[in-house]
Amino acid sequence: MKIALAQVNPTLGDFEGNRRLVLEATLQAQGRGAALAVFPELCLCGYPPKDLLERPAFVEAAHDSLRALAAALVGFETAVLVGFPERLASEAGHGLSNSAALIEGGRVAHVARKSLLPTYDVFDEWRYFDPATEVATVPFRGRRLGISICEDIWNDADFWPHRRYRSDPIEALVRGGAEILINISASPYTIEKRHLRPRMLAATARRWQRPLLFVNQVGGQDDLVFDGASLAFDAAGEVLAHGAEHAADLVLVDLAAGAGDRRPFDPSDERSALAALALGTRDYARRCGFSRALLGLSGGIDSALVAGIAARALGPVNVLGVAMPSRYSSPGSLRDAEALAKNLGIEFTVVSIEPMFAAYLDALAPALDAFAPATAPEVAAAAADLTAQNLQARVRGAILMALSNRQGRLLLSTGNKSEIATGYCTLYGDMAGGLAVISDVPKTLVYRLAHAFNAEAPLIPEATLTKAPSAELRPDQTDQDVLPPYDLLDAILEAHVARGLDLRALVAQGFDAAVAGDVVRRVQQSEYKRRQMAPGLKITGKSFGPGRRYPIARF
């Protein structure tokens, strides 16, 4: 039997367009002799649909699209397995199932339903769906298929030291006679998962001694990036086929011959992350109605990396870099910004913030002095200094938003995860924008990505890579004036934010109590800022987005 894994890039709510993707891929699969073409989870409506599932018209449109797809497949030799939201006739529960329809001969021959509904991190499927009430195999051309949907395959007792669920749908399918295991997924990308997921799937195939086929969605949706990278394994857990990473693909698997298409797998996590960020930026801009973008170019490494990603995502001619020097900006930073723009081939302009900044200071001076709290001179001086720094950032934010409005460009903010975690950023200033491209990229990873970017072509100026990071908002400023060295900071943030260690646990891990305590305090006090920032692309296991649900106001 030949089976095609169709990793497509569906768009939320574009039922006609998604149906067209399915038909085009099925035609291609039929041309290559596939008996079955397999498509991702909720492919007909797009994933994740979130509260669109609470709209009856959306669910009805999904059912209409399924009926239209079945009618369009009349006469096809290749059958189709496709994900869709199924309306259930139920007096209790949500009345919806995350389902997969097997279409053969112009009709829906079988429906399989998802059993395990995740509620951790970015997932919230119990909010919308009811779990399957039974798990059964599906007969198909003399074989029995064990069809599962995404999370159903992430609960193998032999692989996971701690399981989230009591039941294992894959075990139930094997006990029910499944000869071929098929999993349709919309599994979001993280750097860690690109290594974990293949190991987990291979272990499942080995455990049950069944060939296992996994098809995954590709593309960006809001803060999530889906990497594709579909896989097929034989009964010994050996890879038969591997789909492209971060690109649409059709992967043919010949189970009888024990062979399949194998796209190259890049071992570099840095190059993979760059491709994921470019894909996420491209799809976010396109689906929000933007074809062009702009960003502030400071001459620093963060804005340089975002500019490079934007140029890859949208094309250099569609990206504008804006340098906005002040009295504190070094001539070298302006030169580096201009050199970067020239190297990337993006548009470039300079707008000095000095006149606006000076006007703000003059206009605000009476009010700032009149209502300043009575404090020690050194405290008052620090508050005045911080006020002036934030004013500069907010002037820059206003300039960028003016250009965004006038030119119809998406504003990309350039703050990294380390800054955002500790609140080393200005609300309504450098946090302004429509997409926070590298908000899930710690500063140490920023450097690794920038070096990987330059390894292909040395486009980021060397001075940008080597100079001390600085916001240049006051004389002789560096980030390490107020933050620990970034390698230390990122280690603390990984332990605190990703692994959930409190201060006592951090100290037990060997971190200095004063340094760790300051970092934890900054993270906690900056929650209100992060809640107001632009959506950011998720590439690690724990990002500052929908998957991190911390209260803003707390002790």
226, pLDDT greater than 70? yes
| Domain extents in the chain | 2-259, 272-479+526-530
Angle between the N-to-C axes of helices 486-493 and 443-456, in degrees from 0 to 180, rounded to the nearest 10: 120
What was the pLDDT predicted at 554? 79
Q: Report pLDDT digits (tens) over 175-223.
A: 999 999 999 999 999 999 999 999 999 999 999 999 999 999 999 999 9
Beta-strand relationship, 259-260 and 249-254: antiparallel
pLDDT category at 472 given cuts 50, 70, 90 is: low
pLDDT level of residue 372 (50, 70, 90 thresholds): confident
Question: 165-174, 333-342, 369-378, 387-396: lowest mean pLDDT where?
Answer: 369-378
* 224-227 and 79-87 strand pairing: unpaired
pTM > 0.75: yes or no: yes
- State mean pLDDT over 231-235: 98
3-state SS, one letter per residue, for 23-55: HHHHHHHHHCCCCEEECCCCCCCCCCCHHHHHC
Q: How many helices (H) and strands (E) does the chain have?
A: 16, 20
Mean pLDDT of 307-326: 97
Examine the pLDDT at 148 and tell me if it is beyond 80.
yes
Q: Is pLDDT above 90 for 539?
A: yes
Mean predicted confidence (pLDDT) in 526-550: 95
What is the structure's pLDDT at 476?
Answer: 74
Question: CATH code for 2-259?
Answer: 3.60.110.10
pLDDT value of position 291: 97
| pLDDT score, position 373 | 83
* 8 A C-beta contact, residue 82 and residue 101: yes
Per-residue pLDDT averaged across 389-401, rounded? 95
Q: What tokens appear for 464 in the block?
A: 């940008």
C-alpha span between 294 and 310 (Å, rounded): 9
d(CA 467, CA 482): 17
In this predicted model, what pLDDT tens digit does every residue of 402-454 receive, in sequence order? Answer: 999 999 999 999 999 999 999 999 999 999 999 999 999 999 999 999 999 99
The per-residue pLDDT of the chain, averaged, comes to: 95
Residue 276, pLDDT > 70, answer: yes
pLDDT(323) > 90: yes
* Nearest-angstrom CA–CA distance, 264 and 268: 12
How much is the pLDDT for 31?
97
Choice among 134-138, 153-157, 276-280, 481-485 with the minimum mean pLDDT: 481-485
Q: For 284-312, how does the pLDDT look when each residue is reduced to its tens digit (9 = 90+)?
A: 999 999 999 999 999 999 999 999 999 99
Model pLDDT, residue 375: 84
Which residues are annotated as catalytic? Answer: 41, 114, 150
Task: For domain 272-479+526-530, give the CATH number.
Answer: 3.40.50.620
Q: CA 182, CA 150: separation in Å to the nearest integer?
A: 10
- Concatenating the DSSP letter of every residue in 441-488 gives S-HHHHHHHHHHHHHHS--S-HHHHHSPP---SSTT--GGGTS--HHH
Residue 144, number of CB atoms within 10 A of its CB: 15
CB neighbour class for 45 (10 Å; exposed up to 12, middle 13-18, buried from 19):
buried
CB 547 within 8 A of CB 530: no
Residue 118: predicted pLDDT: 96
